[in-house]
């Protein structure tokens, strides 16, 4: 289903190399706001190291962000030394496909990680990439995201229920 992620993790750092290998993932598309940085543009501890370790293992990266604040995206991308696209209008496929070209990979070898269903998950699913939802870093969202959260939480609840059922 288009609104459900393929996987749900607590944070980006829980997406480990063995998991990526198991699913044949060679490249990661990353969201910025509340996935890599919090409301105050701060990285959580260990995020830079997580990127570096996966890079060392040959995993490619690209940032696809919806924000129009180029300075913010640039700061994050340069801190992690990965290419970026901003103002991407996710769930539009455009940014995802640009990232795919940038990484030189096929969609089946790409996973997209983000904290929002309406943008990150649906966009990745539309592109037939592996979709990974993570919990938002900070509770304090920008206004437009705040409006969408209750619906997102409802979908996540339903998703977790469904996963539980499937496991039994």
Residues in contact with Mg ion by the rule CB under 5 A: 31, 33-35, 115
Q: Judged by CB, which is closer to Mg ion: 86, or 104? A: 86
Q: Judged by CB, which is closer to Mg ion: 103, or 137? A: 137
Least distance (Å) between residue 48 CB and Mg ion: 18
Least distance (Å) between residue 53 CB and Mg ion: 23
Gap between the Cα atoms of 120 and 96, Å rounded? 9
Token readout for 49 is 């190291």
Gap between the Cα atoms of 94 and 113, Å rounded? 16
Looking at beta carbons, which residue is closest to Mg ion? 33
Least distance (Å) between residue 65 CB and Mg ion: 8
Q: Judged by CB, which is closer to Mg ion: 159, or 161? A: 159
Least distance (Å) between residue 164 CB and Mg ion: 26
Least distance (Å) between residue 42 CB and Mg ion: 14
Q: Judged by CB, which is closer to Mg ion: 56, or 143? A: 143
Q: Judged by CB, which is closer to Mg ion: 35, or 88? A: 35
DSSP strand E in the chain: where? 7-9, 27-30, 60-64, 84-85, 110-114, 130-134
How many CA atoms are closer than 13 Å to the CA of 138, on its beta-carbon side?
Answer: 15
């Amino acid at each position: 289903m288009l609104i459900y992620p393929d996987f749900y993790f607590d944070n980006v750092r829980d997406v480990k190399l063995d998991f990526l290998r198991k699913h044949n993932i060679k490249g990661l598309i990353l969201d910025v706001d509340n996935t890599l940085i919090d409301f105050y543009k701060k990285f959580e501890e260990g995020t830079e190291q997580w990127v570096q370790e996966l890079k060392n293992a040959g995993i490619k990266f690209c940032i696809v962000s919806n924000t129009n604040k180029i300075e913010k995206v640039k700061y994050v991308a340069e801190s992690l030394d990965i290419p970026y696209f901003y103002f991407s209008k996710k769930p539009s496929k455009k940014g995802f496909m640009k990232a795919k070209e940038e990484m030189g990979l096929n969609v089946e070898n790409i996973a997209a990680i983000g904290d929002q269903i309406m943008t990150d998950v649906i966009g990745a699913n539309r592109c037939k990439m592996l979709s990974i939802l993570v919990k938002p870093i900070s509770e304090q969202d920008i206004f437009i995201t705040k409006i969408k959260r209750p619906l997102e939480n409802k979908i996540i609840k339903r998703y977790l229920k469904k996963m539980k059922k499937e496991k039994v």
